[in-house]
Chain A
């Protein structure tokens, strides 16, 4: 009985989570433009999706910004984490507190604060400002995922390497970096997903025709519903499921799935 109730409840929650997406998927194959009315099967919205220049451009910028900002923030974040780890008690605390601000602050505050800065500096809002902003909110997450790995590391290892004649940069490359690699990879993945999914900060810090997917969906949704967004949702869901299945297969031990 308890078992049945558990399954029933979990099923209900899963219906709640998936119903809206499933409705979109079904209607992405709908001939009729109006929702709720079935006009026959069609793939024309998918064709239209790949013909829509705005959507393709937004997809391009979304991935470009996500890729660049996650690479930059992983590099800066990793080195900074090593530096912060070796700081004195007080400066370390200060640095970590400031580093924590973009994580704690609501996105909207980070967004308008950065916009205020860029405008005050007379910078043109566009690709560059969006890339900087994404890097600003990504680095703290990289640092926060690298620091625990540095703490776990045996201090004597680095000293041993130095005693054995390694230069500091050689010790960094051959001893420290390999040991903190899991943290670096986690940080990079978090940065990439945060960047792909970001709306609020991009919304305030971009301009002159540069939009990402979220901004495009927002402005389309405000004007009304477009069936090619349904097609886009379907493709996105498919990508996510395939990616997750691949990751799940690779990490049979699991648990690493949780971001």
Chain B
């Protein structure tokens, strides 16, 4: 049975090679070549696309993508952790309904959510009308970095709250009671017991927010008004407007490598914490 059941996966193995492995290899191939993509004989090996990235203009874009992604991830963590903590203490009867209403916005189309912010932040949008109505000076947040960060926090906050909430709801209540019985007050219990136990949730929350934030081009395009270029916008432009697949591929490879490095660092942090958690005694 075991041997025969294995056959069921063979079509998918072929599928994976065609639609997952080959496309990535193609991107890698285009990143290390130059020439006309429509004429295979004109392609030759070149690292020009990678050296182009070191232009100060592009380095700035990459730096800004990371900066904005880190800022919005931090905000999501600071705003989201208390939310997860509060939802986990809500009475069982109301917990589902609170959780549901927290989830409704992420079930809405991502583009519509970003569009919603666009229409309230734009120079003659809702907020500025309200401010003028109250006799206050209008705000100039959109287009701009603040609007992009706001859009990221708004779209990705639930991705931070959910994993932390899941870990929190699995914590054994008797552990907390034991801490209290042993004389720890609420704050000490939180710092010494709850926080270390939720590290895995925090880590997956950070990855789930940081990844889409660093690679987005929609939020920066719509809320940054096309002026706040991020690495995602650069890649998108190479494939749609500029038609420079070589440079676009090189940028994609760089984005992938940087994400892999950040994820490796995160998992190392988690492991270190796991080892360092024990000697508290």
Give Cα A159 to B1, complex, Å. Answer: 8
- Does A237 count as interface, using CB distance less than 8 angstroms? yes
Q: Does A16 sit at the interface, judged by CB under 8 A?
A: yes
- The contact of B110 among A27, A199, A254, by CB within 8 Å, is A199
A108 touches B232 (CB 8 A): yes
A19 to chain B, nearest CB (A): 8
Tell me how many residues of B have a C-beta within 8 Å of chain A.
87
Please name all residues of chain A whose beta carbon is closer than 8 Å to the beta carbon of B182 when the two chains form the complex.
none
Closest CB in chain B relative to A180 CB, distance in Å: 13
With A35-B129, A86-B2, A217-B115 in contact, do A244 and B104 touch (Cβ < 8 Å)?
Answer: yes
How large, as a class, is the contact surface on chain A? 35 or more
Decide yes or no whether B281 CB sits under 8 A from chain A: no
Q: With contacts defined as CB atoms under 8 Å apart, how many contacts are there between chain A and chain B in the complex? A: 235
Closest partner residue, chain B, to A216 (CB atom): B111
Q: Shortest beta-carbon distance, A154 to chain B, in Å? A: 14
Residues on B with beta carbons closer than 8 Å to the beta carbon of A248: 96-97, 100
Residues of chain B in range 86-133 having any CB-CB distance to chain A below 8 Å: 86-87, 89, 95-105, 107-120, 122, 124-126, 128-130
* Stretch among A39-47, A48-56, A109-117 lining the B interface: A109-117
Contacts of B130 in A (CB 8 A): 36
Cα–Cα, bound, A5→B19 (Å): 51
Interface centre among B100, B102, B245 (most CB of A within 10 A): B100
Would you give the 0/1 interface string for B14-45, flagging 1 where the beta carbon is closer than 8 Å to chain A? 01101111111011001000000000000000
B111 touches A214 (CB 8 A): yes
A93 to chain B, nearest CB (A): 13
Task: Report the minimal beta-carbon distance from B90 to chain A, rounded to whole angstroms.
Answer: 8
A120–B104 touching, CB < 8 Å: no
* B173 proximity list for chain A (CB < 8 A): none
CB distance from A256 to the nearest CB of B (A): 10
**B13 an interface residue at 8 Å Cβ cutoff?**
yes
Q: Looking at the complex, which one of B19, B97, B100, B129 makes contact with A117 (CB distance below 8 Å)?
A: B19
Q: How far is the CA of A193 from the CA of B104 in the complex (A)?
A: 13
Complex Cα–Cα for A18 and B100 (A): 13
**B104 near A241: Cβ-Cβ < 8 Å:** yes
* Contacting pair A116 B26 (CB below 8 A): yes
* Cβ–Cβ contact A95 & B16, under 8 A: yes
Cβ of A89 within 8 Å of any chain B Cβ, yes or no, is no
Cβ-based interface call for B196 (8 A): no
Q: Nearest-CB distance from A28 to chain B (Å)?
A: 11
Shortest CB–CB separation between residue A33 and chain B, in angstroms?
12
Q: A98: shortest Cβ distance to chain B, in Å?
A: 5
Kindly provide the distance from the CB of A119 to the nearest chain B CB, expressed in whole angstroms: 8
Q: How far, in angstroms, from A225 to B222 measured CA to CA in the complex? A: 11
Closest to B118 in A: A221
Which A residue sits closest to B92, measured CB to CB? A254
Residues on B with C-beta less than 8 A from A90 are none
Give A204 to B23 CA distance when docked, in angstroms: 13
A88 CA / B24 CA spacing, docked (Å): 26
A168 within 8 A of B: yes
Could you say which of A17, A214, A243, A244 has the most chain B C-beta atoms within 10 Å of its C-beta?
A17
Smallest CB-CB A-B distances: 5 pairs: A83-B9, A36-B129, A83-B8, A113-B23, A106-B215
Name A's B-contacting residues (CB within 8 A): 6, 9-10, 13-14, 16-21, 23-24, 27, 34-37, 76, 79-80, 82-87, 95, 98-99, 101-102, 104-110, 112-117, 120, 132, 136, 139, 158-159, 162, 168, 171, 193, 196-197, 199-200, 204, 213-214, 217-218, 221-222, 225, 229-230, 232-233, 236-237, 240-241, 243-245, 248, 254-255, 257-258
Taking A108-B252, A116-B245 as known contacts, 13 extra A-B pairs with beta carbons closer than 8 A to each other, sorted by chain A number, are: A10-B86, A10-B98, A35-B122, A35-B125, A76-B15, A80-B12, A82-B5, A87-B6, A105-B256, A113-B27, A217-B115, A218-B218, A233-B108
